[in-house]
């Protein structure tokens, strides 16, 4: 028996214990007197690295624990959840429950379809114009406030005529006042990115389009603010920041939209995917499974309103330190447009001090705080505070910010 267990290796052995015990709590198998199995939340929290990554980002620990329990034997099927056929009853239930949970979270009306697609947010940069436009002569409006909305506009230009609503710039520091916007009178849709992860710019309002379908990329702040879905024509979000792991992008689309261009690839066709419940081709089954678990986790914590309050508290703690630092921590983003999800800043002045920023990252890593380096296009530091980041983790980071300033200013 021992030879067999050694052959499995420790990781496989742990899973072996999961499969052979009725309940984790009664699993008492050990390799020797000092080796014990301990799956308590306390142990997990005390030893786990604090991951402030901008995406793929931290997944709630309760979700990881459930996924671990079900990985080798899902629903007593005798096979792993990653082995389930997408045409079977078990995966059909996973797919349906994920959609039902999202509908409950946002009170999505029945005239809106929920799709689970592949291709990421970048795939939707093409899918949106391909579904909502019928001709290359169609005009669309793009509110460009950062890198991701800029990339979306560039992609849309392949398929239609793009009107940039706000003055073009290469330096993003906020959202221009709506009096400066130049919306078209014949646009097929108006597009914006609710939260720019690289620059740390977030809309705290929904743009008024006077009846023109509104399209929103919510990849990085979905599930963090209550919204009225009926104000939108299309909402999409890559899951890997606030809703799970890479591989799936969920789309909420009003059913009267999406007739599309003939050149629209089938895998991106909203109508076809809606008619087939996102099962026209093999879906990213495990990503949808985790997505559903995260939706249920949010519901169990009080839903989107609770996440909204949580986000406000965490981000306020960080911004208070930045604002009180007398310029040691420097942010260029207008206060009214600051992101609650992604907080980029420089250390030592507006242009940053490379030596100080490197020291900050090294000392943070020594405290098990990782993925704080800013995007390569802007440099500096970036703190990402997605839903899975706990208040205790945010407070630990805030204390480090204060201590680092005191020791280095």
Catalytic residues: 148, 217, 241
Q: Rounded CA gap, 364 and 370, in Å?
A: 7
Q: Rounded CA gap, 308 and 326, in Å?
A: 29
Q: Rounded CA gap, 187 and 210, in Å?
A: 11
DSSP structural state of residue 224: S
Q: Rounded CA gap, 89 and 342, in Å?
A: 39
Cβ atoms of 36 and 47 within 8 Å: the answer is no
Q: Rounded CA gap, 103 and 115, in Å?
A: 11
Give, in order, the Cα–Cα distances in Å from 186 to each of 161, 163, 210, 371: 11, 11, 11, 43
H-type helices in 276-390, by residue range?
Answer: 285-300, 303-323, 354-366
DSSP structural state of residue 191: E
Q: Rounded CA gap, 237 and 59, in Å?
A: 16
Q: Rounded CA gap, 215 and 141, in Å?
A: 10
Question: What tokens were used for 106?
Answer: 């946002």
Q: Rounded CA gap, 215 and 376, in Å?
A: 28
Other beta carbons within 10 angstroms of residue 177's beta carbon come to 8
Q: Which of 261, 291, 262, 263 is nearest to 278 (CA)?
A: 291
Residue pointed to by tokens 């689309």: 253
Q: Which of 305, 304, 339 is nearest to 319 (CA)?
A: 339
DSSP structural state of residue 67: H
């Amino acid at each position: 028996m021992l030879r067999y267990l050694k052959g499995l290796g420790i990781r496989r052995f742990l899973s072996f214990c999961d499969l052979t015990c009725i309940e984790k709590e009664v699993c008492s198998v050990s390799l020797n007197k000092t080796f014990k199995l301990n799956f308590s939340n306390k142990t997990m929290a005390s030893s786990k690295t604090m991951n402030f990554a901008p995406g793929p980002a931290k997944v709630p620990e309760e979700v990881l624990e459930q996924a671990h329990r079900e990985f080798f034997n899902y629903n007593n099927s005798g096979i792993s959840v990653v082995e389930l056929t997408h045409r079977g009853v078990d995966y059909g239930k996973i797919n349906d429950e994920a959609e039902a949970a999202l509908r409950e979270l946002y009170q999505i009306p029945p005239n809106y379809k929920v799709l689970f697609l592949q291709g990421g947010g970048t795939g939707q940069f093409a899918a949106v114009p391909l579904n909502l436009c019928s001709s290359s002569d169609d005009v669309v409006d793009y509110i460009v406030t950062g890198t991701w909305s800029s990339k979306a506009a560039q992609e849309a230009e392949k398929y239609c005529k793009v009107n940039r609503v706000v003055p073009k710039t290469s330096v993003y520091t906020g959202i221009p006042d709506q009096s400066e916007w130049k919306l078209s009178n014949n646009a097929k849709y108006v597009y914006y990115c609710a939260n720019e992860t690289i620059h740390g710019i977030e809309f705290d309002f929904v743009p008024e389009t006077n009846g023109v379908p509104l399209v929103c990329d919510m990849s990085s702040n979905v599930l963090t603010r209550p919204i009225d879905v009926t104000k939108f024509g299309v909402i999409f979000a890559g899951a890997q920041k606030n809703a799970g792991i890479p591989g799936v992008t969920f789309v909420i689309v009003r059913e009267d939209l999406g007739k599309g261009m003939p050149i629209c690839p089938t895998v991106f066709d909203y109508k076809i995917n809606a008619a087939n419940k996102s099962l026209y081709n093999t879906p990213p089954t495990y990503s949808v499974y985790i997505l559903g678990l995260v939706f249920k986790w949010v519901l169990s914590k009080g839903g989107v309103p609770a996440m909204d309050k949580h986000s406000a508290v965490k981000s306020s703690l960080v911004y208070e330190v930045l604002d009180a630092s007398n310029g040691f921590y420097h942010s260029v983003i207008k206060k009214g447009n600051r992101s609650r999800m992604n907080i980029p800043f420089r250390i030592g002045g507006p242009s940053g001090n490379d030596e100080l920023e490197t020291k900050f990252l090294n000392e943070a890593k020594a405290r098990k705080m990782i993925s704080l380096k800013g995007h390569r296009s802007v440099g500096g530091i970036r703190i990402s505070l997605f839903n899975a980041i706990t208040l205790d983790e945010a407070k630990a980071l805030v204390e480090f910010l204060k201590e680092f300033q005191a020791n280095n200013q």
